[in-house]
Structures are given as C-alpha cells and as structure tokens.
Amino acid sequence: MGLLSRISKAQRRTIFGRFVLDWMPRLSYVMVAVSFFWLLALPHQNYSHEVYLSENALLPGGANTRFDYSDVLAAEAYRDTVQRISTLSSYERAKALEQEFAQIGLKAATQNYTLNTSTDSKHGVNTYAVFYAPRSDGTEALVLSASWTSRDVTANTNAIAALLALGKVFKRGSHFSKDIIFVVSDGEAEGLMAWLKAYHGNEENTKDRAEETLHIRSGAIQAALNLDFAGTGDYNGLGIFFEGVNGQLPNLDLIKTVTYISGGLALTLHDEIVPYTDNMTKNYMNSLRRMLYMMKYQAAGTPSGNHGLYLKYKIDAITLYGFNRPGLDANRYGLFRLGSLVESTVRSLSNLLEHLHQSFFFYLLSGIHRYTSIGLYMPPVIILGVSFIFQALSLWGESSDLSLEVEAIAQGKEVPVTLPYSRRSRSFKTPATIVGMSFVAGLASFKLVKTEFGFPGETPLLKLVASVGVCTMLVFSAVSAARLRQHLLVKNEAEKKKAQVNSKSSSGEPAPAADWIMLKTFILALSALMVTTLSALNFSMAVSIGVVIVLPFMIFRPSKFLILNAIQIVILSVISPPGLVFLASWLYDMDVSLVLRWVLDGYEIFGTWLLPTLCCIYWPLNIASMVMVLMPTE
Amino acid sequence: MRHTSVSTVLTLSVALLALTTAPAAATKDSVPILKAPEAFHEELVLKPLNDGSVYSHFQFTTHIGTMMDEQHLDGAASNLFTHYNLFPRSIGQILHSFDVEELHLTFTQGRWQYGDWGYPLAPSVGTGVELWAWLNDDKGQTDLNWKGLTNTLSGLFCASLNFIDDTITTEPKLSFRNEGLYNVHSNVNASSADTKRLRYGSLPHENVCTENLTPWIKLLPCKTKAGIASLLKSHKLFDSRFYSMSIHVRPVCEDELCRVKSLELVQSITTVFDVARHDGSHDWTLIGLFEREITQACPLASTSKIVLHLPQTTNYQNQYALTPAPAKGTHFIGSEEDKQEIAVYDISGVSANSSPFELSMQWENARPKSVRPITPGIVAHRYFTGYGQERGGLSIEIHNNNSEDVESVYLDTLPWYLKLYLHTFTIDLNGKTLDNQRDLVSKMFYQPAVDRGRPAVLEMALRLPAKSLVKFSISFDKVFLKYTEYPPDANRGFDVGCAVITAELPRQQGQIGYGGLDHLRIYQEREASQVQSRFNSTRGSEDEGLDKIRVYTETLLVSLPTPDFSMPYNVITLTCTVIAMFFGTFFNLMMRDFDVVVPKESKAKGKKTT
C-alpha cells in the first residue's frame, strides 16, 4: 500500500512536472508580452499622477521677488560685460568675473583645473563667489551655477549675466537662511566637476587630474540650480533638464517648485514644447516620446546638463534651459522673467528646514506635470526578469530525464514508474568554461578600449576593432572546441555502445543533455540576474537591455538549418556592443569614432556605467549566446 | 602663607566665608581708595568697516563690592550678594548658589568675518550659544553645580541652555583660562587653580531672538529707558549681518596692587550693520542704524560714552565728515604703527531738556576712495570633506599672516556620533605633509568620545610658523543612531560646534580688538594706566602690545545616515500584525492540551479496576 501511494505521488508529481515543462516556456512568452504592454502603458494618462508638492516648507512663490526693472538694466549691463570678456582666455575672463563679483560685495575667487582623458586634455579656470547670508550660521548653502559653454556650444552669456545681477539682488536682502554660492565653471562639465570635487575636499594633484584647493567655502550644499541661457537674446521656451549621472534623479519637489513658481509661464521638459491637445492618441504619443527621451539619458548614464554632476554628492539639482523654437510666440522669456523665476526659486529653497527628502527620488516623467512612481514602473522589469528565469527553469527541466520511466514491480505487477529524481547527469564543464571565458574576453575588451597604450595612430575605433577581433576569436575557438568535443563524445558513445552490446550489461545511463541546453540555461539565468539587479540601480538601462535581449536570448537555439543559424548570428551581432555603436552612428548620423569617444568620455569624465556594463556584463552574455547558437544540436 | 590665603579669598563666593575667619588680621594702615560699592558704566563703540558695514559694540559694565584684601576688610565687602542696587540680583544669586567664580555666556547669530572685519572687541563670536564658567570645586559638586547653572540660565534667558549636558560639556586643559584681572596676579603669586574647575559647552544651532534680548535688557539698571541702551531696538538689531549678545562675570582688581577687588559684570551686544546694502552708500547716521535716539543719559551711569573708531583711510585726507565733531577733537590710541584714531563723545550731559544726541558720518561721494586693508594675524577655517553618509573627514586650515611664529592653542569638540580615527590625523604645512608632527604640535590632549556619554575633545598647543598655512585633517565614521535619537528635523543633519584657536597676537592696525573687553577701560582715563600696568606686570615689557584673542571657526552640518521615518511606522505595524498572528498560533499550539476525552463507561470501568 505504501509503495503504491508513493508511486501515485510520484505520478502526480510527474504530471505536474510535465505541465510546468509544457507551460513554462509559453508562460514566459506571455509574461514578456505583459511586460512590454505594461511598459508601453506607463506614459498613459491613467497610469501617471499629477506631480504634487510634498515638502510644506518650500512655500513656492510665497515670497515677493525683488528683481525689478533696475536689476534688469544691471543684468543687461552685465550681459555686455560678459559678452566682452567671453572672448578672452580662460584665465583672464575668470579673473574679470572675479572682479565683477567682488564689486558686488561678494567674496570671490578662482580655481584652476586640469583634466586629461585618453583622448583629450582640458584645462580651465572656474570663478566662484559666495554670498554670506546675514545672521545665518553658514552651515547650509545653495548653488547657482552656469558654465561658460552652454548646451548649444555657444557662450552662456545671459546665464552669467543673470548670476551677477542676482548676486546684486541677494546682497540687498537679509532674509536668506542659507548662503548662496555662485559658480561660473569653465568648459562644459569638467569645470564644475573639478569645483565640486574640491568643494568636498577630494581634490587631486596627479598627472591626469589636478584641481586647485578652494579658498572660500560655505556649508553643506542643499540644492543647486544650473542656468543655461545661451546668447544674448530672449527665449520663447524654457525647459527643465534633470537627469543625472547614471540615471540619478533630483527630488521631485525641486522640479515641482520651479514649475509651480513659473506658474503661467509654461515650462517644459527638456527642449521641446509639447502642446496639450484633445486628441488622446496624440497626447499619448507625446508622453511616450517625452518618457523615452528621459529614459535615453538615464540609460546612457550621461547627465543631460551640468546639474547631473551635483547628484553624486547628494545635492538635488536641475538645469533651466532657455531655447528658441520657430513657430512660437517670440521673446517670452527675457532677463526679467528669468531673473525673477530664479530669485523666487532660491527664496523658496532657502525656506527649506531640512534637505529635500519628502518627495520621490525615483520616478519617470511623461510631462512636466505628470509622473509615474517607482511602484508602477518596477513590476514590468521584474516580470521580464522572471520570464528569463522561467525559460531557464524549463530548459533545466528538459535537461533532466523526467520523461524516462523505469519498470517497478509492485504487488507482483510491473508498473511503469517515473522516478522523482533525475539520473541523467548534467555537464557543467562546457557551459561554465564558455561563460567564464566570455566574461574574461569582455573584461579584456573593456581594458583594451579604456587603456591608453601610447603607440602612434592609436584611436578608440582601432581598439574597438581589436576587441571585436578578440571576441570573434573566442567565439570561433569555443565553437570549434565544442564541435570537436561533440565529435569525440559521439565516437566514445559509439564505442561504449559497442562494448555494451558485447557485454550486454543493462546499466544504460542516459546520455547527458546537449551542451547548448546547459549553456542557454546559464545565459538566461545570468540575464535575469543582470536585468533585475540593474533595474534597482538604473531602471532605464535595465529596461533597454532587457527589451533588447529578451526575445533573442529566449528564442534562439542552434538549428540544423544553416540559414536560421546565420540569421540568429546576424541579429546577435547587431545587438552586440560594437553593433550598437554602429547602429547609433547610423541613427544619429555621426561618425563611429565620435560615438565611441562620447562613450569613453562619459566613462572617463563622469564615470558612467555604460561602458563597463556593456563590456563586462552585456557583451559576455552576447558572446556566449553566439557560441550557443553555433553549437552542435545534439 | 598669607598669599595662599589671599588666593582663597580671590574665589568670590568664598569671600563671605573668609570674612568670618580673617577679620582678626585686619589692620588699618594706608586705607585704599574706597570707590562706590557699586558702579555702572555704559559705552558704545562704533567703527565703520572696510566693506561698508558699521560695527557697533555696546558694553555695559557693572561693578559690585569693594572687596578688599583681608588686611582691609570692612563692612563694605559684606554687602556682596546681600544687597543689590545696580548689580542684577538674578545674576548675583546664580553666582552665589552655584559657586561660580567666573561666568561667560554668549549668544551669537551669524558669522564673524575675520578676513574683512579683523578681530572684534568681544572675544566670543562662535555661532550659537557658548557658555563657559569656572566653578569652585571645594565641595566636589562641580558637575551638580554646572547642571544647575545651565538649567537656571536656561530659564533666565529663555534659551535651550539646559541641553548642554554631559554629551556636550568639556573641560579644556589649555583654552579658556580665567579672565578676571586679579587672577593674573594670583597666578603670579600662587596657583590656586586646583580648587577651580572649568566647564565649557556650546550649542551651535541655537537661534537668538528678542526673547533672549528682553531678559538681557532687564539686567541693565536703566533698561532701555535712558542712556545708550535706549538705542537697542530689536527690529534693527536683528536685521544685521552679525549679532552677538553676551554677559561676562569676573572678579577684577580695582588698583594696581590688587588690594581692592570687585566683581565685574560686562554685558555686551555686538552687531554689524550692512549700511551699504541698499544703495551702496557707506554713509550712516545713528538714528538710521538703530531707529532710536538717545534723548537722555542714564542717570545711574558713572560714565556714558560713545567711542568712534575712525576709518583707516589712505592717500586722501578728509574723505568724510563727522557731525557733530567731537568736543575734544580726535586722538590716537595705541603705539606708533598700530595707532588708531578715535573720537570720543561724552553723552552724560544729554538730558530731557537738551536736544537728543545725534551722530552721522558722511563720505565724500558716498564711499571711501581707498582704505587700508585688514590682514588679521590668524584666520581659521574648518570644513567637512567627502560625501555620502558612511564616512567623512574634517579639515582645518589655519593661516598665520604674522611675520613671526605664533604659539597658539587649538580646541575642537566633536560629538560622539562622529567616530574619529586619530591615526588618520595628518598635518600639512604649506601644502606639504609633515612627517614629524611634533615640529608643530608641542602638546596634544585627546579625549576619546564615549557613546551617548561625552564628546571627543582634541586640544593642541601649536606653533604656527610665520606666514604659513597649516592644515589638519582627520577621518571619521558616521554612526547610525537609534531611531529615537534623531531630532524631528532629522534630514537637516546635525550641527557641530566651532573650533576655537587661542593665541597671543601682536596688536595690528585697523583692528577693533585691542585688549578685548578690557579695552574699554583704556578709554576711561582713570583706568588707562592701570590696565597698561597690568599688561606690564604680567607679561613684561617686551611682550607689550600682545593681545590674547580667540578665533572661532565656522559651525558645520553633518548628515548622518537617516532612515526614512515613515518606514519605522510601517515596519512596526507590519511586524506587530505578523507577531500577533504567529504568537497567537504558537501560543495556542504550545499551551493547549489535546486530551483524549474518555467516554463515561470506560471511566466507570477504570474506576472499577482501580
């Protein structure tokens, strides 16, 4: 009786196992579909909420601004001055600005820095000035910054003029609780980066990086506004840039404060004005485009403006960007409006009693007024990860011998019984070796791309080609080794069978599952690990990687038809890092070497994770899948 | 023998005790000048600063008791702490009941800009509240007395002084020595410091406002009804760049040989008004600064003066006009290179019948053409390095602008939640790391912190080389506090009080600080020679012109790892639910007995069998 019940239990388990094995792959495809639809639904109005102000202390727009007509005149005068000195050398214009700040009555100083990357050498001088808030203890500070070079790669004249004029306005008031630091950084991002490093006492003095120690300091920086008002004219659009290094975001309250204060002046996300229409489809498409735009910056990890550098130091910051788009009312934003907007924002931030912490740090914006919270956007990535795991599990089950049955003798009868365990051995040697070697190759190509060897004619492109060569060699050798092994195994098997036939022993141990099954299990499990882990660190990067690899990695398997294999290999090559580089250069109509240099600069200057992630995690899995596709089917 | 007993008398509150033991020794030769048992002096020092601000320093000095040495003790001394005329009774009682020898309490808001303004007259300018006192330890009750003192002062001044508890209080070994004039003498004669204990504490984030000013004003004999104090209008005082308010109680000598001693209460208010704030004009008037005028001198005041430090203009003469011109003309104080031109106005004649006292300074073209820049001898800055909430570092930069080496003492008190690593302590001299730290640090006291018990104290005797920049750095770990230990505004961070550098510096031109609080005695002719002689007698003639000053660094804000405070609530409710569920189940399973209910018949059977 006991045996029978045990047998029936085993049978039940078998049935369940079969069911799972049958349904798991299908289920995982369903999950992929769910995840895709969920992601696409995120920008929809019904899945996002109105951005609200969480921190009561901010009281946006509560203060009467003091920026008046005479300050506009002052700002215009400063604009001329800035325009005049903008053509001077770094050092001279920094010194001239220092003088201007000192004239207002602020403490001003300059800072030298040098930054050598593998492709470029940058040297510049920053100017900074501190307004000591009267009767404050100076433990907290706000930063207003502008770089000499704007997003448009022209002189940031209006922004610097606005800083000077605001300095004059602030000096008149006695109601600030925090010091205000003005930073005019040289170059694009490297100047501000050098300043921030030195402010936090991390200045270096090596061959590649040298930052002068700061002479004037204030307290802990609570928030920062970066101004980007290029040229000398007025603007018809004002946008907010907020994405930081590696997808870090400022507190949502900061964005809300600025939008709230701007009130009637329509602010936009980034540099595109999206009019609200009654057409739902159009609205949805606009939201989707905005969200993708944001996710693009997050995924690449490069900040969308200089504000991104602050976030690393736990300083919430955004960039205000003035732009001109044809087809809009002209001259909507002059110095007066910009000045009052910034002043009011600073007044509001100065009200803060604590560091910004009330509102969201993780969100997706589909418009300046609508956000999607982390609770809503995390599930699709997790579902994506789970679908990988389901695929891997079903393959793992396939590699066992669940289908094998043994004859058992119960109550004098022979009953076919499925064993609750697998007798089929799984060979880990081949998949582990291939995956391990791919990671080594990935790491090697990363080192190759980022290291400067110093031989003549050395370009990033050349190094990329070299690493592609390394990886191709790896694929070839792995595939040929696997095929050779297969050949030998088959030979062995045949001999063994012959021997078995001769000896007539019935200890028929089933042959282990094909190597590619094990390898694919490995790849899928590792992909799940990568996607879910990344989603906690950088959601957009995880989503984009997950979406790109999920179908190829799940569907692809070695085929008897050469043409299918070839198609698979082509697709895998396209989504491999070098393929992506070429794809990007084609999409953005840029030179390949420029794309490469952009990635390298991101890594070397900002320390983005794009290059290391692509080379050390993404590429190895891609290589392993290529090997998998080319492996013998049996 | 005599001298040692003198020193015990020095400790003020023991004076009464001494009265009963010593009168037998009293003889009546050369009776010292018995001044009024109580006296009140009021002064206002004004100085236009180089950056267009105006510095104002109110000082109200009250003396009580002609406490004479034991040879000349008479009935006058017994009045001390039993009868009050001018001296505020509330202070007297505090001193008496907590055995306080010397008391210094300063409320400060804003930062003193040493680089622009030089050194202030009132030496304590650390942001927040600073309290330090020398307490008699005869009965070994210093800690109890200190606790009582902080709590009482807290009530008296409507401030959170009661938060100066064991986790904040320190006992510096080298800084904050006695300031009382006759202690200098007594130290020469004999060391009586054994029975006195120093207690020091500061609250960096204490705001100062009218609620603190009102009790402070109540201590004045004329309140704000008359005299210089009538200028104190809180609306204007608190709309300034810097505001500091203090009381100092100390025993002082009234004559050269210190035969007559008295207890001195100095109340001071220091403000820096930014007059150039609105239109860039450096012109100012007294009524413009304070929105009040002096209509009447305080009738209780022995002296009532306004001292104006004239600006140190260069190159051009007569850039400014003073109205009214000082009656006695301007004169110079200080020696040759560091002389300061001052104008003294005696306002004791101002009465209800005469017109109110008015003072104004007008610049030609509203601002000076050129002024002599100020380079303070020692300037110090302190800042945190690093980012993130796990660890950090502290850097202190001390600039010595003097052309000679300066001996100084550095005192830093750090809260226990910063775990200092002393092995990471490094010294950079002009940008180069020193291998041998003993070159600069001659003495070092380090008191490690005790969690929730006491702060870490780092005190060093330093030799600052001439024209140098000395930089210390030290690393620390940040502690993850218990969740109840966070203040309501946990995300603001935690304030770390200022470090203090004490040094004797040569007097420099253009600086306000000159003898500190004693400085005002110099304006009063009767004391000028005395203060000078004190300098001479205690320091020798070669050291003349040295002032002991204290330089305060900035207060800092450190952000500790802070939990999301909505989280504990969620966790608590969740765990409570889960525990209730589990506990109920477990309790049921473990405590409930499953007995087999025996049917009646079998029971009966059982009974039969047994």
How large is the average pLDDT for residues A289-304? 91
Mean pLDDT of A399-427: 63
Contact A414, A405 (CB under 8 A): no
Residue B7: band (very low, low, confident or very high) from pLDDT cuts 50, 70, 90: very low
- Please tell me the distance from the alpha carbon of residue A383 to that of residue A81, in angstroms, as a whole number: 57
CATH code assigned at B410: 2.60.40.1170
Tell me whether residues B387 and A200 touch, CB distance under 8 A. yes
Residue B362 lies in a domain: yes
Residues A67-122: pLDDT tens digits? 999 999 999 999 999 999 988 899 999 999 999 999 888 999 999 999 888 778 88
- Residue B468's CB is within 10 A of a number of other CB atoms, namely 17
User: Which of A107, A137, A312 is the closest to B205 by Cβ?
Assistant: A137
| Residue B520 pLDDT | 57
A207 — pLDDT class (breaks 50, 70, 90): confident
Interchain pair A201, B383: CB under 8 A? yes
User: Which of residues 266 through 325 in chain A touch B, CB cutoff 8 A?
Assistant: 312-314
- Determine the residue of chain A that is closest to B492 in CA distance: A354
Q: What percent of chain A has pLDDT over 90?
A: 46
According to DSSP, the residues that pair with B260 across neighbouring strands are B68
pLDDT at A10 over 70: no
Tokens found for residue A38: 């969920």
Segment A23-33 mean pLDDT: 90
Same domain (yes/no): B110, B208: yes
Binned at pLDDT 50, 70 and 90, residue B6 comes out as very low
Strand, helix or coil at A163? Answer: helix
Nearest-CA distance from B278 to chain A in Å? 6
Taking alpha carbons only, the member of A64, A51, A62 closest to residue A253 is A51
The residue segments making up the domain with residue B397 are 378-505
**The pLDDT of residue B311:** 83
pLDDT at B610: 44
Q: How far apart are CA B2 and CA B546, in angstroms?
A: 32
Helices (H), B278-318: 286-290
Residues B384 and B343 in one domain: no
The predicted model gives A347-367 an average pLDDT of 90
Whether B552 is in a domain gets the answer no
Q: Do B363 and B319 contact (CB within 8 A), yes or no? A: yes
Strands (E) across B74-136 are located at 100-109, 128-136
> What percent of chain B has pLDDT above 70?
78
Tell whether B311 and B443 lie within a shared domain: no
In angstroms, the first-to-last Cα distance of chain B is 102
pLDDT at residue B76, as a whole number: 45
Q: What is the pLDDT of residue B555?
A: 92
Give A403 or B539, the one with higher predicted confidence. Answer: A403
Q: B517-539: per-residue pLDDT in tens?
A: 666 555 554 444 444 544 444 44
Average pLDDT over residues B431-456: 90
Does B399 lie in the same domain as B482? yes
- Give B8's pLDDT tier (boundaries 50, 70, 90): very low
Both tokens of A634, joined, read 């049996």
Q: Which two tokens stand for residue B498?
A: 């200022």
CB contact under 8 A, B385 and A313: no
Q: In a 3-state reduction of DSSP, which class is residue A501?
A: helix
Same domain for B360 and B387, yes or no, is no
In A, which residues are within 8 Å of B276 by CB distance? 105
Spatial contact of B150 and B168, defined as CB atoms under 8 Å apart: no
**Can you name the residues that pair with B268 across neighbouring β-strands?**
B59, B246
Q: Does the structure show a pLDDT above 80 at B16?
A: no
The Cα angle at residue B256 between residues B253 and B261, in degrees rounded to 5: 20
Contacting residues of B for A220, CB less than 8 Å apart: 384, 493, 556-559
- The last residue of one of the domains, among B520, B544, B568, is B544
pLDDT category, B74, cuts 50, 70, 90?
A: very low
Minimum CA–CA partner of A140 in chain B: B557
How many residues does the structure list for chain A?
634
Nearest 5°: phi and psi at A431?
Answer: -60, -40
* DSSP code for A606: I
pLDDT value of residue B148: 94
Partnered with residue A108 across adjacent β-strands are: A129
Partner-chain contact B383 A312, CB within 8 Å: no
Residue with tokens 């940008």: B431
pLDDT exceeds cutoff 60 at A291: yes
Phi, psi of B358 (to 5 degrees): -130, 145
Across B216-240, average pLDDT: 90
R_g of chain B, CA atoms, integer Å: 30
B271, B329: one domain: yes
Q: Which residue has the higher pLDDT, A534 or A4?
A: A534
**DSSP letter, residue A616:** I
Q: Report the domain count for chain B.
A: 2
- Rounded Cα distance, B481 and B452, in Å: 10
- The amino acid at A496: K
How many Cα atoms are found within 13 Å in the side-chain-facing hemisphere of B263?
27
Query: Do residues B34 and B165 both lie within one domain?
Result: yes
> Do B237 and B169 belong together in one domain?
yes
pLDDT attached to residue B189: 42
pLDDT at residue A527 tops 80: yes
Flag whether B579 is in a domain.
Answer: no
What pLDDT score does B519 carry?
A: 61
- Write down the pLDDT at residue B514: 59
Mean pLDDT across A117-146:
90
Beta carbon pairs, A and B, within 8 Å:
95
pLDDT per position as a tens digit, A438-490 = 999 999 999 988 887 777 777 888 888 888 888 888 888 888 888 888 888 88
Q: Does a structural domain hold residue B305?
A: yes
Contact B387 A353 (CB under 8 A): no
Of A136, A140, A354, Cβ closest to residue B110 = A136
pLDDT given for residue B10 in this prediction = 36
pLDDT at B334: 64
Summarised one tens digit per residue, pLDDT across range B103-127 is 999 999 999 988 888 888 888 888 9
Order across the sheet with A237-241: list the strands.
A209-211, A107-116, A121-131, A179-185, A140-147, A220-228, A316-323, A237-241, A267-269
Question: Mutual orientation of helices A252-262 and A335-350 as an angle, nearest 10°?
Answer: 130
* Mode of pairing for the β-strands spanning B38-48 and B303-309: parallel
Q: Which residues, other chains included, contact A187 with Cβ-Cβ below 8 Å and sequence gap of 6+?
A: A122, A124, A147, A148, A149
Q: What angle do CA A218, A223, A224 make, to 5 degrees?
A: 90
Residues B152 and B175 in one domain: yes
Q: If pLDDT is split at 50, 70 and 90, which confidence band does B258 have?
A: low
Judgement on whether residues B249 and B392 belong to the same structural domain of the protein: no
pLDDT, position B11: 38
CB pair distance less than 8 Å for A138 and B386:
no
pLDDT at A24 over 60: yes
- Which of A134-148, B189-203, B295-309 is least confident? B189-203
Both tokens assigned to A472: 């191709």
> pLDDT at position B529, please?
47
Residue listed under structure tokens 């004859």: A407
Give me the count of residues in chain B. 610
DSSP B208-223: --HHHHHHHHHTSTTT
Are residues B331 and B402 located together in one domain of the fold? no
Nearest to B274 among A134, A136, A353 (CB): A134
pLDDT over threshold 90, residue A227: yes
pLDDT tens digits along A538-569: 999 999 999 999 999 999 988 888 899 999 99
Residue of A nearest to B113 (CA): A132
Residues pairing with B100 in the sheet: B135
Find the Cα–Cα–Cα–Cα dihedral A357, A361, A366, A372, rounded to 10°: -90
Nearest-by-Cβ selection for A200 from B110, B241, B385: B385
Per-residue CA distances from A411 to A405, A415, A420, B41, B98 (Å): 18, 9, 20, 119, 99
Q: Can you tell me the mean pLDDT for A400-420?
A: 60
* Pairwise CA distance, residues A566 & A553, whole Å: 15
The pLDDT assigned to B73 comes to 46
ipTM field: 0.85
Rounded distance, CA A630 to CA A481, Å?
A: 11
- Check if the beta carbon of residue A210 is closer than 8 Å to that of residue A302: no
Residue B508 scores a pLDDT above 50: yes
Residue A195 and residue A126 in contact, taking contact as beta carbons nearer than 8 Å: yes
DSSP output for B54-78 = EEEEEEEEEEEEEEE-GGG--HHHH
pLDDT digits (tens, 9 = 90+) for B337-383: 667 788 888 888 888 788 888 899 988 887 787 777 788 888 999 99
The enclosing H or E element of A193 equals helix A190-199
DSSP string over B309-371: EPP-B-SSS--EEEESPPTT-EEEES-STT-EEEEEEE-TT--SSSPPB--EEEEGGGS-S-B
Count Cα neighbours of B166 within 13 Å in the Cβ-side half-sphere.
9
Calpha distance A335→A402 (Å, rounded):
75
* Beta-carbon-side half-sphere exposure of residue B382 (alpha carbons within 13 Å): 26
Same domain, B525 and B483: no
Measured in angstroms, the CA of B331 and the nearest CA of chain A are apart by: 31
Query: For residue B6, is it within any domain?
Result: yes
CB contact at 8 A, B372 and B313? yes
Residue B561 lies in a domain: no
Q: B189 in a domain, yes or no?
A: yes
pLDDT (average), residues B154-174: 91
d(CA A540, CA A287): 16
Least confident of A28-42, A443-457, B150-164: A443-457
What is the average pLDDT across A396-415?
64
Assess if residue B578 is contained within a domain: no
Average pLDDT, chain B: 79
Q: What is the mean pLDDT of chain A?
A: 87
